[in-house]
């Protein structure tokens, strides 16, 4: 469960920072919903087990062993290994504007069960095994992850005799999606270092370097020295999404960064990101971020 370090237990009380905490204890998990009403700095926290933290409203500034001082925003999650130290700032928390977040602590035995099942039923083709990473995994929620988190919150508040069974099924699906996200970041994080020996990584490196060009499964499968069908299956198996969906997601991320530059028009951004159709670009951007590119740019993001 959530713990403060011994130092903080001596110097501050949690109730001055978190006015409302709702906890649901389940067979394989513990779900905590927090509302923080008071501005605070350097709050040091640990969890006994692996935990998925997701922002709901407001902003935290997170300091972790691998990264220091980054914004943690709504629509984002972090998967943390057990006993991971978090140092958290709450710069925007106010009584009338609380910061809201969710922390889902997951039974390590369930994680091991899912990992073993993936390695048995859905082995990777890159020579690696599915495994829970012993590092912090920070990512933007995709629709599947968002829906699962929302469903688990709903199930926790529902008085149903099969609640724990439903949540166990949702947890397993969530863990599979987290393994896929970790695999994607693994391929993206150091593509050049593994591209010569791993065909999927080689195609990822090529995609990231040529997002403004026409990219097809046919050309990518040739780069991977696979048939189109074999490449499509291998890519989707390890990345959790199809090659085309991955390309579109990376193009939209690139577009979000370019939209911060006011000198670029919407059409210029679309072309630079490989979208020949402005309407298709707008549709894909809205699907990913929930708002149009023009609205996103108008927010000053």
Instruction: Delimit the domains of the chain by residue range.
Output: 1-189, 192-298
Give this prediction's pTM: 0.77
The answer to whether residue 248 scores a pLDDT higher than 70 is: yes
**Phi then psi for 31, rounded to 5 degrees?**
-105, 125
- CATH code for the structural domain at 192-298: 1.10.10.60
Per-residue pLDDT reduced to its tens digit, 135-179: 788 988 888 899 999 999 999 888 889 999 999 999 999 999 999
The answer to whether residue 223 scores a pLDDT higher than 80 is: yes
Check if the beta carbon of residue 248 is closer than 8 Å to that of residue 256.
no
CA dihedral 6, 136, 118, 248 (to 10 degrees): 150
Confidence of residue 197 (pLDDT cuts 50, 70, 90): low
Q: Which of 93-107, 121-135, 266-280 is least confident?
A: 121-135
Q: What is the CA radius of gyration of the chain?
A: 21
**Phi then psi for 286, rounded to 5 degrees?**
-65, -35
Confidence of residue 255 (pLDDT cuts 50, 70, 90): very high
Check if the beta carbon of residue 250 is closer than 8 Å to that of residue 212.
no
Confidence of residue 1 (pLDDT cuts 50, 70, 90): very low
The answer to whether residue 68 scores a pLDDT higher than 80 is: yes
**Phi then psi for 87, rounded to 5 degrees?**
-115, 120
Token duo for residue 159 = 């008085």
Q: Do 1-189 and 192-298 come out as alike in CATH topology?
A: no
The answer to whether residue 6 scores a pLDDT higher than 50 is: no
Per-residue pLDDT, averaged over 76-103, amounts to 91
Mean pLDDT for all residues in the chain = 85
Token duo for residue 190 = 């150091």
Task: Please tell me the predicted confidence (pLDDT) of residue 190.
Answer: 61
Percent above pLDDT 70 for the chain = 90
- CA-based angle 224:226:232, to the nearest 5? 90
Number of H helices, E strands in the chain: 12, 11
Topology of 1-189 in CATH?
Jelly Rolls (2.60.120)
């Amino acid at each position: 469960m959530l713990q403060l370090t011994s130092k903080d237990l001596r110097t501050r009380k949690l109730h001055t920072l978190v006015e409302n905490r709702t906890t649901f204890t389940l067979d394989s998990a513990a779900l905590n919903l927090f509302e923080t009403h008071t501005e605070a700095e350097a709050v040091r926290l640990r969890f006994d087990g692996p935990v998925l933290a997701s922002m709901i409203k407001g902003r935290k500034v997170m300091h972790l062993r691998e990264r220091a001082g980054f914004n943690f925003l709504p629509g984002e999650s972090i998967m943390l290994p057990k006993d991971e130290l978090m140092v958290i700032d709450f710069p925007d928390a106010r009584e009338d504007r609380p910061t809201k977040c969710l922390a889902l602590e997951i039974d390590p035995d369930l994680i091991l069960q899912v990992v073993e099942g993936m390695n048995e039923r859905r082995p990777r083709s890159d020579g690696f095994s599915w495994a829970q990473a012993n590092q912090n995994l920070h990512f933007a929620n995709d629709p599947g992850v968002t829906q699962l988190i929302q469903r688990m919150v709903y199930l926790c508040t529902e008085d149903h005799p099969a609640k724990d069974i439903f949540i166990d099924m949702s947890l397993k699906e969530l863990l599979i999606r987290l393994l896929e996200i970790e695999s994607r970041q693994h391929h993206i994080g150091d593509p050049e270092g593994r591209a010569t020996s791993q065909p999927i990584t080689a195609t990822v490196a090529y995609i990231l370097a040529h997002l403004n060009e026409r990219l097809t499964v046919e050309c990518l499968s040739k780069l991977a020295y696979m048939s189109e069908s074999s490449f499509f299956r291998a890519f989707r198996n390890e990345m959790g999404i199809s090659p085309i969906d991955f390309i579109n997601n990376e193009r939209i991320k690139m577009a979000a960064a370019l939209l911060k530059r006011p000198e670029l028009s919407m059409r210029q951004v679309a072309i630079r990101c490989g979208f020949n159709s402005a309407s298709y670009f707008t549709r894909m951007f809205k699907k990913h971020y929930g708002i149009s590119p023009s609205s996103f740019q108008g927010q000053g993001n």
